[in-house]
Amino acid sequence: MTDFWRGRRVTVTGGGGFLGKAVIAQLEGAGADSLFVPRSLEFDLRTADGISRALADGEPQLVIHLAAVVGGIGANRDNPGRFFYENAVMGIQLVEQARRAGVEKFVTIGTVCSYPKFTPVPFHEDDLWNGYPEETNAPYGLAKKMLLVQGQAYREQYGFNVIHLIPVNLYGPGDNFDPASSHVIPALIKKCVDAREAGDPYIEVWGTGAASREFIYVDDAARGIVLAAEHYDEPEPVNLGVGSEITIRELTELIVSLTGYRGEIRWDTSKPDGQPRRALDTSRATQAIGFTAQTPLATGLAAATSWYESGLGVRRP
């Protein structure tokens, strides 16, 4: 617990979501005792009115903006306009109204999807502008990157303390397991557990399996966000990750083993792989805020799988 959070009025948008719940838990553990979480049913943050009412009710000194419209490759392909507009309009209006309301500090959460498609691995924050993002999620990635531009511009013109964090792909208990919108880890866990229970002889997985990804356990990401909110006050963005990657093929084989599924893996190569490789340079986070991820991938996958299985009431064979 630190004196920084005690008595400080903090508004967390998206606080009821997957990452939001983990951030709220970290804040409470750090001593935060004046938290306000605007719920979407009451405060539509895509509208100026919803934002102004949320800021009036919360009277925040610090805002952590986690609310976003997100999904996997399929959801991004199906909703490019929605993902661009809703993420951009929500963030841009919120930053502007927060500045006008006298908020002292604003934390924006970006996305690894903002990096160019062929960024050299590991991705360094200075690489953000060296090309266009991977096409399947470029609208989402660019909408989020505009919040970095806005924050730096507002810092320069108004002296508004806006910081920008870029977490790599999240996973863990409480993730979204809806196959229409889930990301790769929950999608694979659900696919393997469901196939195991149904006795299916094979599962189909998108792409070739050659693409690589980096994954950070949700509690680790939340801890990094809270550390940065307290200790980081610079204009440059900060990666939050683990600093290592795994191919989708290796990830699939690991989840197959963890879930006890014994069928065949079939690769649907007519579906896209997405960005060829993703792995972050995490040195800035280590140096600037003392953050290092702590949860091994196998440990986190086991926790996410157990959470999903307990929710379904299924039993391991």
pLDDT of residue 311: 80
Polymer length in residues for the chain: 317
CA distance 137 to 116: 11
Helical ranges in 159-294 per DSSP H: 184-198, 218-231, 248-259, 283-289
H or E, element range at 215: strand 215-217
Task: Report mean pLDDT in 10-residue bins for the chain, 317 residues.
Answer: 90 96 97 96 95 98 93 77 94 98 98 93 96 91 97 98 97 90 91 95 94 96 98 98 95 96 95 87 97 96 94 53
The whole-angstrom separation of Cα 148 and Cα 235 is: 9
Mapped onto helix, strand or coil, the DSSP state of residue 282 is coil
Largest CA distance in the chain: 61
Is 85 among the catalytic positions?
no
CA torsion angle 169 172 173 176 (round to 10) = 20
Domains of the chain: 10-171+215-243+277-294 (3.40.50.720)
User: What is the pLDDT at residue 314?
Assistant: 52
Catalytic residue, candidates 85, 115, 132, 140: 140
For the beta carbon of residue 34, count every other beta carbon within 10 angstroms. 16
Handedness of CA 229, 230, 231, 233 (dihedral sign): positive
Instruction: Please report the pLDDT score of residue 278 as a whole number.
Output: 87
Single pTM value for the model: 0.92
E strands present in 42-130: 62-65, 105-109
Omega within 30 of 0 (cis) for the link into 122: yes
At 316 the pLDDT is 46
Judged by DSSP in three states, 34 sits in coil
Query: Distance between CA atoms of 23 and 150, rounded to whole angstroms?
Result: 24
